[in-house]
Amino acid sequence: MSILVGQQTKVLVQGITGRDGSFHTRQMLDYGTQVVAGVTPGKGGQEVEGVPVFDSVSEAVRQTQANCSVIYVPARFAVSAIEEAADASVELIVCITEGVPVLDMVPVYHSLRAREILLIGPNCPGVISPGKCKVGIMPGEIHLPGSVGVISRSGTLTYEIVHSLTTLGVGQSTCIGIGGDSIVGSGFMDLLAKFEADPDTDVVILVGEIGGDEEERTAEYVARHVSKPVVAFIVGHAAPPGKTMGHAGAIISGSSGTAASKTAAFEQVGVTVSRTLEDLAHAVKDRLGVQA
């Protein structure tokens, strides 16, 4: 098994006629993903890479029973695209688009939570369950089916980490890039809970970076709710002190937000924090050995 996406996932692509949308539709199809529909308002009736295009998400869902939407529309339309998918009762929405205004995300975040619709992103590489389904823009070939779950705030750094795992023969159950924005639909804790419940995931890797306090809060969550081994990797040790948002920012985050604070928070609850990619891959391999 895996989490979020698998063989049962039927994907619809919002923004399928755009440059990124059509290119990645081809890539997802090549990986074996069931891409069943595309949506671009005003372009219903066309086909892209053999995939039928509809004018609206609700029509596409009605005709194809799509249960997952991936969004490649320009930033200024991304929030309404998310809302449209949510209103059509799509179970999982993956928003690749970067540059989404953050205040627009505030009401959407809460309304999707209330309806128990999962959103990954915005500003993320997407989700892949190796060998089964790829929903996003990550290079499929670096992945290997296996039992390591990966949750990351980064894009290319995740590829680098997955590549080093695969090189060591360590496969992945599902890899998720949660996105780099201040407000993203799903965080470390949401997805850790899913990996904890997934019988085919044995170890989880968390890839964090400077800014915010999600890693610090996740460390507490791991201590209380996660029985599976967790290994963390935090980047930004060499970064200059971040640009804080006046006093209000300092008041909210206090001393959290630095790579050192995040590393300390994880280490305090017994989560190994690796400093190099080699160490990370080996730490994961060691824990898999113990599990087996």
Partner 1 sequence: MKIHEYQAKQLFKAQGIAVCPGELAVTVDQVRSIAETLEGRCAVKAQVHTGGRGKAGGIKLAQNPEEAADLAGQIFGMSIRGHVVKKVWIEQAAHIDQEAYLSVTLDRSVKKMVFICSSEGGVDIEQVADKTPEKITKFYTADKTFPAAEARAAAEALFEGPDHADDVLEVMRQIFSLALETDASLVEINPLVLTKEGRVLALDGKMTFDDNALFRHPEIAALRDMDEENANEVTAKEKGLSFVQLDGNIGCMVNGAGLAMGTMDQIQLAGGAPANFLDVGGSSSPEKVISAFRLILSNEKVKAILINIFGGITRCDDIAKGILESYRCLDIPVPVVVRLCGTNAREGLELLRDSSLIAAESLADGVQKSVKLAGS
Site residues (vs partner 1, CB under 8 A): 75-76, 99-107, 109-111, 125, 137-139, 142, 152-160, 163, 180, 182-183, 207, 209-210, 212-214, 217, 235-240, 245-252, 254, 259, 275-278
Positive/negative CA dihedral, 265, 244, 160, 207: positive
Q: Rounded to the nearest whole angstrom, what is the least distance from the CB of residue 137 to partner 1 in the complex?
A: 6
Q: Which is nearer to partner 1, 10 or 109 (CB)?
A: 109
Burial class (CB in 10 A: 0-12, 13-18, 19+), 292: exposed
247 is catalytic: yes
Q: Which is nearer to partner 1, 197 or 239 (CB)?
A: 239
Q: Rounded to the nearest whole angstrom, what is the least distance from the CB of residue 180 to partner 1 in the complex?
A: 7
Q: Which is nearer to partner 1, 198 or 215 (CB)?
A: 215
Q: Rounded to the nearest whole angstrom, what is the least distance from the CB of residue 222 to partner 1 in the complex?
A: 17
Q: Which of 24, 110, 237, 247 is the catalytic position?
A: 247
Q: Which is nearer to partner 1, 100 or 192 (CB)?
A: 100
Q: Rounded to the nearest whole angstrom, what is the least distance from the CB of residue 44 to partner 1 in the complex?
A: 28
Q: Which is nearer to partner 1, 65 or 101 (CB)?
A: 101
Pairing of strands 68-71, 51-54: unpaired
Q: Rounded to the nearest whole angstrom, what is the least distance from the CB of residue 79 to partner 1 in the complex?
A: 11
211/249 Cα distance (integer angstroms):
11
User: What are the residue numbers of the active site?
Assistant: 247
